[in-house]
Structures are given as structure tokens and as C-alpha cells.
Structure 1
């Protein structure tokens, strides 16, 4: 028995069963629920948003509380860091104290050993030690006399360029001041060099009139007056040009010039070369012109300024 064909319902032009509203009060509606109530979906979304807002509010409140706790935590971390820094300083101080104590202990032990060694020496050993010391003093005195015989121990002027080469040849360490009579700063330099010549007899201190030695000034390229040529073993070790290396002031001290000569190793300087005796290092500076070693004859030396 065949199936009866479907009979189209009223209102359906195509014979397809239309979508019926799911609501009971709209059973006769041929449109869907969304089409029947266009604002329903929007209202449903608004309802969902209202349900989510309390959750967001709670989350924001929780975050604020956490931030408050974080602020307190930062203070606590800062306090802990400060405590750790203080502890590190205390530890470092204790380490330094231990190092000083250990060094002092080593020095004391060395002195005790030397004293004990002297106590255990017999007369022959003591006599031998005495002779060694006398020989060292005698040798030192002979060296001093030799320096004095070569013109050390005084600041003096040499008359000519020929004398300059002879003087440099005789001594290991020489400081030569190239001066001019009309330059006032040369007189300032003379005052300090006179003091240092008597103190450092291991070095020969000379002065030479630049106007009377044009050949030598041209060879050494001396353009600034005053200029000190610092000579060691017949070679120019360094130059002191004007007062730039001496604090750039006319009121520099003899100790400052002594330090500068010690930097060039032309005198036996007993101070600390790393601590120049300037009254104010920030004001005067600590840099100075350092040149390569060069022979007396014919090497280049230039200056960027003239000082009359």
C-alpha cells in the first residue's frame, strides 16, 4: 500500500513546512523565535553581562588587595636588602681586620727572627756584618764625592751649547732649564731648581740661555719658555713645558716640581707618584705631557703654545 503524498500546509507556497515559533503563545506564527522577538537575543546578552559584572568586580578588588600587599612586600624586600648590605659591610670589615692582623703578625715574626738571628751571632759574624755596612757607607760616600766633582749638588748655568753636550755625557741624570732673561716665570723655576739641586745630588741641574743656544733649541724643538729637558743616559726622557704639568699656576710648590721630575725617573723620588702634591687636583688636573725617548741630536719636539 503506497504512502500518501504530503499535503502542503496553508501559507506555504513552496510546499516546505515553515518554521514554527517554539513559544506556546505563538504556535500559529510561521517565523522563528528570534524573528518573532528581534530584541530577545540582545536582552539575553545583557542578562549575561550583568551576571559577569560581579565576577569582574571581585577580580578587581582582589587585584587591589594584592597590590596593597605588594607595596608592603616591597618595603619588606627593601628592608631585607638593607640588612643584607649591612651584613656584607660587617663581613668585609672583619675580613680587612683579619688581613691587617695577619700582615702585622708576619712583620712581627720577621722582626723577631732578625732579632733572634742577631742574638745568636758570634763576634766574628757581628764583625763581618759591621764591615759590610761600613763598606756600603764608604761606597755611598765615594759616589757622592764623584757626583759633586762633576758639578752635582748645585744649580748652575753653562755658557754654551758645547758645554751642554759635555755635561750630559758625564752624568746619568740631568735636568736642564732652557730660560730667557726677560721671562719672569724662568725666575720662578730657578727658585725651585736651586732647592732641588741641593736635595738630589744624584742628578745634575743646569740652566742654558735659549737665546744663546739657537742650534740646540732648534734640534730639541724648544718653543716654550721655560722648558725643562729631562735627560737620562744621554737621551731626552721627558720635557716639562711651561707650568702646565705643575698645576698650571705660578704658585706651584717645590714638592710639585719634585714629583714631576720623579715621574720621569730622573731623581730618586721617595714619595708616592700616584698622589701628586697638588692643593686641588680637581682644579689643577693631574695630566702631563709624556714624550717618547729620543736622542739629544735631531729628534722632534713640538709645543702648541708660547709662554712669554
Structure 2
């Protein structure tokens, strides 16, 4: 994965606030003085910094070609921790927000054809991907499921991409109250050469897609999770050592603390955001040792390379790790 940490801290103005389908508010953000915003690619997200040290990640769902505006869509989470409620209830057009980013752990890789599968608000990172595939001339299809049509965001945007010259309809909607769940068994029945599958949505959808893609070639499936995947019990149950190659320190990590906690207590500055293995901010190169990967970002192939880890959640699978810190 090897995410670069060239993201920036910005104070942006909310230039537009629109209420979308039920439970969704769409915010457009711009520089206060009209300056261009940093470039981003499909799959990128930003951190929104809010009062009370709340930091939440939202996918950029606009068009990377629009260099002066970023767009995010925020689903109200009734049982959430307060971030979505703040953006729904307290933020209005003209307000300013502290932003960090952009960061991309969900990049659109080159392919001859794509299958995009979105559930609910999971449409947000996939919409720019479909635009990019459309403009690049790749074959693509987009399957989008939601509770009902009234709950599904960006139907107009997808409608603009539904067909190409001489092409069959590329976007299929699955309103659960009309047709039931997305027909994954049919969509993913047989592996197709040169095809990549991108999926974002609730955990049951991701797990079902992972099961269906188990018969596809390694590296076909790319997913993004909004919540951490259950990693089970740690591989190495006792304390372990982390040697910091750059700082010259060796620290002990107990079972009740993360590597991130321990290195910060030792005075080593490491950027972090979600602290649950979903955002990618704390990615750290691994120089020696075996990692117990407990994040929700790395693919099986990336985990097997054993050369990077997310130290907010991942641990050692051996007595000692050497990190590039």
C-alpha cells in the first residue's frame, strides 16, 4: 500500500450544503480565498476535524477534474459517536471546517474492465471511479443497492453515466423494497479475465462479495470498509519489543496498549486519525519481524509482503519488530 503522507491541513469554507436522500447531507468545500485544492484521485478521502478532538473520514465523491471544490456526503448515524450529527445539525453554508488530506488507500488500478458494487453510502468512493473508467474507455458495470430508491444518493450522477454509445445499460439499481438484495451470485458467477472488482458498503455486503470473489484470481477484489473488521484474538498474546530504527529506541508493547500508544508515550511523533485501522494515516514501514495485521485496509497480498503496518491496531506476531520510526 505504502501510502504517502503528503496530505495537508486546510481550513475550507462550506460553499454548498444540500440535503439529499434520507439521512444524507452533501457538503461542497472550497478554499476561502479561491485557491485550487490539492489534486486527488478516485477512492481518496479526507479527514474532517471537529470539536472535542473528533476526526472522521469521508470519501471525496465529486470530480477530480474540478480542482477548486471537494464534495463529501455524510450519512447521519443515529448510534454514532457524534461526528455525523455535528455535520448535519451544526454546519451550514458559509461555515469553515478544518480538513486534513487527501489520502487514498483505495486506488483505482488500471484494468480493461471493472465491476463496481456499492451498498448505501458506499456509493461515494465508487462514483468517481465509474467516471474515471467511463472517461478512460474501459468496460464497466455499476451495481448499487439501497433500502429504497428514496434512500439512495447520487442517482442523477449515475444516470448521466448509465449508457455509452452503442453500450448496454451499465448501472443497475437494486432497491431492496422493490427487487431485494444485489444479485451477487449472478454478477460474480464466473471469473472474467482482466476484470477488477471494487466494493464499498456495509459489512454483510463486503463479506458476501469476498465469498463470491474467492474463486476469482488473486488481486481481483478491492474493498473499502467504513468500520473495522473483526480481527479476532492477537496472534502473539504476550508483550513484544519494537525497535525504532531511526529514533534508536527499543520499546516494550504490553497487551493492553497499541504500538502507536507506546511510541507516542516515548515522544515519537506519528500521524494518526481513526485509531481503528480504517484510515491509513499511521502506516509505518516494517524493516524486520512478522506482523499480526489487524487493520481493515491491506489486501491478503499486501499483508503477505510484510513490509508495512498500521500501528494503531496491528501488532507483532513475533517477539520483536523493527520499524522505520
Report the TM-score range of the alignment, normalised by the length of the smaller protein: under 0.3
Greater helix fraction, Structure 1 or Structure 2: 1
TM-score w.r.t. structure 2 length?
A: 0.22
TM-score w.r.t. structure 1 length?
A: 0.23
Query: Which of the two has higher C-alpha Rg?
Result: 1
Greater strand fraction, Structure 1 or Structure 2: 2
Q: Which has the higher contact order (CA 8 A, sep 6+)?
A: 2
